[in-house]
Amino acid sequence: MVNKNIIIGILVGLHARPASVFSKTAKRFASDVKVKYKEKIVNGKSAIHIITLNAKYGAEVEIIVDGTDEDEALEALTQILENDME
C-alpha cells in the first residue's frame, strides 16, 4: 500500500469534470484506490463518491492505493490533482 498527501491544484476543486477524469484514470489500474478528505474516505473509482468529498482548490487530500500497480496509479492520480485542467 502507498499513500500521498496532495494539495488540490484544480481551480474548481474536485467538481464533476475533475472527479470524472480522476475516477476514469483510477479504473485503468488494478489497484484499489481511495481518497481521504478530512475524516471521510471514498472509493477513488467512483466520480460520485469523489464529488461528495466537496474538496476545494488548495485543500489537502490523501490518495491511498493498494495493489499490484500501486506506484504507477499513485503517480498518474497525483498528476491529475496537482495540476489545473484548463
Residues annotated as catalytic are 15
Is residue 17 left, alpha or beta, with left meaning phi > 0 and alpha meaning psi from -120 to 50?
alpha
